[in-house]
Structure 1
Amino acid sequence: MPLAEWKEMKTLADWEDVLSQSESQPVFVFKHSTTCPISANAWKEFTAYLESEPREDVSYVMVKVIESRDVSNKIANDLGVKHESPQAIVVKDRKETWNRSHWDITQQSIREALS
């Protein structure tokens, strides 16, 4: 059972809510490709992090890049971060403060980014 909950973003309105939320607390955004084995591995790392003493003052969200491509593209455009997947991005005050992709998404890298 995860110690921290995460929410899936499916609409542009969901992303706007998350972006606004980043003004009051950090947001961890996970861009997930449901057809990619590297993304499956990064997803395991992300969920393992959530099950092992995650920061409680962070909001955790996920977007499926194929199913919600408009949301994924809007995230890239709004933050000025080149789209990759899997990709993990920390957002604070409507700006990207950290991002990693592919094999660089590990429990350890997430922990360091949020410390």
Structure 2
Amino acid sequence: MNWNKLQDNAQLAQIKQESAEQPVLIFKHSTRCSISSTALSRLERNWSDSVGIKPYYLDLISYRSVSGEVAETFGVDHQSPQVLLIQNGECIYDASHFEISFDELKQQVVTV
């Protein structure tokens, strides 16, 4: 799995543009939380690039302001850990904690 790092608010405009071409995943990770580490590990173990989702990783401890901007930009409540699936500039799916599942993400892409 090749993560793209999300470290700057300006990248959110780029993500919106990219999501017109392919679905984009944002994974908001707390490096201080064991649940977040477990969710990240499960996602990485089950990941397949063949689905065509471009993954972004946000270390929300280091980039807390970016995490807040993600929540505001895409109209979701902040959670940690959290995944957001962005397509055509909009968040079409989000999940947090142990609800984070690659199989569920795949299903969301197929149905759109």
* Match 1:7 to one of 1, 4, 23: 4
Give the deviation of 1:91 after TM superposition.
Answer: 0.4
Q: Match for residue 64 of structure 1?
A: 59
* Match 2:98 to one of 95, 103, 113: 103
C-alpha distance in 2 between matches for 1:92 and 1:60: 12
C-alpha distance in 2 between matches for 1:44 and 1:109: 16
- The answer (yes or no) to whether the contact 2:82–2:100 under 8 Å persists in 1 is yes
Q: Match for residue 74 of structure 2?
A: 79
C-alpha distance in 1 between matches for 2:46 and 2:60: 21
- The answer (yes or no) to whether the contact 1:90–1:99 under 8 Å persists in 2 is yes
For structure 1, the 5+ residue unaligned runs are none
Give the letter aligned to residue 10 of structure 2: A
Q: Match for residue 88 of structure 1?
A: 83
Q: Share of identical aligned residues, percent?
A: 26
Paired residues, number: 110
For structure 2, the 5+ residue unaligned runs are none
SS, match of residue 30 in structure 1 = strand
C-alpha distance in 1 between matches for 2:102 and 2:9: 28
Cα RMSD (Å) of the superposition? 1.5
* Match 1:46 to one of 43, 48, 53: 43
